[in-house]
Amino acid sequence: MFARHKQLSSLGRVCSAVLVSGMALAVSAAETPSPGAQGGTPATQAGSWQPHSYEFHYMGFTSTYSCDGLADKLQLLLRLAGARADAKVVPLCTRGYGVPDELAQAKVVFSTLQLAKATSPGASATAAKSVDGVWRHVELAPQHPFELQLGDCELVEQFRDTLLPMFVTRKLNNQVSCVPHQESGSNFSLGFDVFAPAAAAKGA
């Protein structure tokens, strides 16, 4: 009888140990994030559009653009940097369309996505107009994209100094070196993260 009682007690301890182990595993599994929570779709943040208007006066020595050619390049750079789709670049032509002009100009009207500030006075009023944004990486280099060439070095440099600060960016990798009056020795590699619309980032 004593032996049987001892055997039952041992069996009870084994069952209790298995039960405790099972509960510990269940708790551990609940506290560990699922694989999808750590990777895949980036987390979105609330943002709002901020309008800008700027008269861009090209100041370069190596490449010469027509006023409409300059407008096309600026439209490309704005799109790559995450400007809203309705961005407009209006060429200001003094010598006519398609004519190279050392003083090419364009009026740029565009909107950039700004991080929403929950503590700002108008936060509740603008909540309905908020836009989901994500951080998206951008790389600008000769033939990346194809429309950019080595001769666009000074234009990219001027875009970096005048228009890019109007975007919300981080992790700027600024490798832009332009040699006036010659393409030889010039090169540019401008990389940055930009806060851009989530829908546009998915499409990109």
Each of the 204 residues of the chain gets a pLDDT tens digit; together they read: 434 444 434 434 433 443 334 433 333 333 333 333 345 566 899 999 999 999 999 999 999 999 999 999 999 999 999 999 999 999 998 888 889 998 999 999 999 999 997 544 444 444 558 999 999 999 999 999 999 999 999 999 999 999 999 999 999 999 999 998 887 789 999 999 999 999 765 545
Does pTM surpass 0.85? no
Domain positions in the chain are: 2-32, 45-203
The reported pLDDT for the residue numbered 184 is 79
CB 191 within 8 A of CB 138: yes
Report in angstroms the alpha-carbon separations of 11 from 4, 20, 21, 154: 11, 14, 15, 81
Radius of gyration, CA atoms only, the chain: 29
- SS3 state at 185: coil
